[in-house]
A and B are shown apart, each in its own frame.
Chain A
């Protein structure tokens, strides 16, 4: 008897069907870089609600807030870099409509790492003396048991129900490559989550790599629950080295917040009913894949 070979391929809609109201969902990438936007748009088109979102936030956070999907937000920042502050994030904060748990960027890394290591906390000086301690009232300090007796923040583990990540390439077994200049912290999101769904610009039968390319495999397939073929799936954020962020699209998204019914119109006309109609707004997949990487 032959065992069934692994096949983790799913559609974005099948991923969303596995999500539940109230879940804690970590989203990989960083600001306007390598966000799993096809998966996020599938959430925007779904009735999911009351989510806790954990992210180095970019436009996905603003969109999920605008769509009323988020009850609680755990973040170090929400920014599109070229457009420093996300307008829907600002609106939600200024209305007090989201439970905002602001962290230092490194503390977010530490919380995910603790979850991945299956320990309750990791100690650090970062956060002491700052309002991290007051806006996260459950945070506690710990005293070093050694001769130094130093008092440190015990950064609690941030355990995720689900992580949503975007990769450059993947295969049906769940092997992934995260290419481009910076992998950010996707591997920590992967190891902190009970289930991990990865969208990728290409999905192959089985990756067959040379040694240099294999180094771009940042987390092991045992952490990958499902793989979604999503060409251009990070748009309007970047997916280096394949395509850069779409500054015009980010600007149009930000500008939509100026109008009273801005989000409703953006949801209907841009997010639309499916990815084909979404990409048609930006002259199609070929144009998205041709977006140049940004220069600083």
Chain B
């Protein structure tokens, strides 16, 4: 049994798996673990993914974190105007870290509390409404808790999901695909009946009951529920090359091991 990996490395591999088999789409990982996950996916199982340098250019070799000895080789251009065009075409998969997520896969990046006077205001909706109705979306949650996975609807719906009350006849929801939610406890998806939330895999040493207790809505436990796959030596080497300064050590407080001490 492998023990020599961190929880951050485990979730980076799980993030990478979300980008598996997506085809030629722009893979946008926002934040350390999603970005490393997208890069890992491209350098291992999904070389067809498209990716940017984090500014405005396409690269075929995912750029490592931090200062670089030389500018990367660009293979194309991806200004924000073109990002919007790609979004509306459906050829993208973005993984973000929202403030709140609900049982319908709806996401909130705007703030906590009432919209008119939120208790905590954050950035605004950014691209969530357009991303979520047009292309693949996944989420990363470093602190799995009932504060993030809320009991009712998220306070401000930016990213749309599978809540039937939000949709009228004639609105086209065919492209909505909330693919994966990767947390510090597990990997979830919305592949239950009528897009109900499921636990897809548990991180080593985590129980289903612990995940359910930290989630504000009921979760489905599949019969074949297994463990989130540990990183392979090859995956760990790719992650280390993409993150030479070990930014991944800051993904979780105290950088815990991937396998909990018994």
Q: How many residues of chain A have a CB within 8 Å of chain B? A: 46
Picked from A103, A106, A134, A151, the residue with its CB within 8 Å of the CB of B171 is A151
Bound together, the chains give a CA A197 to CA B167 distance in angstroms of 42
Residue of A nearest to B63 (CB): A296
A94-B121, A106-B127, A184-B80 known; A295+B115 contact, CB < 8 A: no
Q: Are A130 and B159 in contact (CB under 8 A)?
A: yes
CB-CB under 8 A from A131, the residues of chain B are 110, 115, 125, 156-158
Picked from B79, B84, B156, B172, the residue with its CB within 8 Å of the CB of A105 is B84
Q: Are B133 and A128 in contact (CB under 8 A)?
A: yes
A125 within 8 Å of B (CB atoms)? yes
CB-CB under 8 A from B122, the residues of chain A are 84-85, 90
Bound together, the chains give a CA A107 to CA B87 distance in angstroms of 12
Q: Mark B148-167, 1 if CB is under 8 A from A, else 0.
A: 00000000111111010011
Chain B at the A interface: mostly helix, strand, loop or mixed?
Answer: loop
| Interface members, chain B 236-253 (any A CB < 8 Å) | none
A253 within 8 Å of B (CB atoms)? no
Q: Are B121 and A129 in contact (CB under 8 A)?
A: no
CB-CB under 8 A from A105, the residues of chain B are 80, 84, 125-127, 130
B56 within 8 Å of A (CB atoms)? yes
Q: Mark A140-178, 1 if CB is under 8 A from B, else 0.
A: 010100000111000000000000000000000000000
Q: Mark B79-113, 1 if CB is under 8 A from A, else 0.
A: 11100100110000000000000000000001100
Report the minimum CB–CB distance from A59 to chain B (whole Å): 14
Q: Are A106 and B117 in contact (CB under 8 A)?
A: no
Q: Are B80 and A182 in contact (CB under 8 A)?
A: yes
CB-CB under 8 A from B193, the residues of chain A are none
CB-CB under 8 A from B80, the residues of chain A are 30, 105, 182, 184-185
Q: Are B67 and A295 in contact (CB under 8 A)?
A: yes
CB-CB under 8 A from B124, the residues of chain A are 57, 75-79, 102
CB-CB under 8 A from B126, the residues of chain A are 76-77, 104-105
Report the minimum CB–CB distance from A250 to chain B (whole Å): 15
21 A-B pairs with CB atoms under 8 Å apart are A90-B122, A93-B117, A104-B126, A104-B158, A105-B125, A106-B84, A125-B175, A126-B130, A127-B130, A129-B129, A129-B171, A129-B173, A141-B171, A143-B170, A149-B170, A150-B171, A150-B172, A181-B56, A181-B79, A184-B80, A184-B81
Interface residues of B (CB under 8 A from A): 53-57, 63, 65-68, 79-81, 84, 87-88, 110-111, 115-130, 132-134, 156-161, 163, 166-173, 175
Interface residues of A (CB under 8 A from B): 30, 57, 75-79, 84-85, 89-90, 93-96, 100, 102-107, 109, 124-132, 134-135, 141, 143, 149-151, 181-185, 295-296
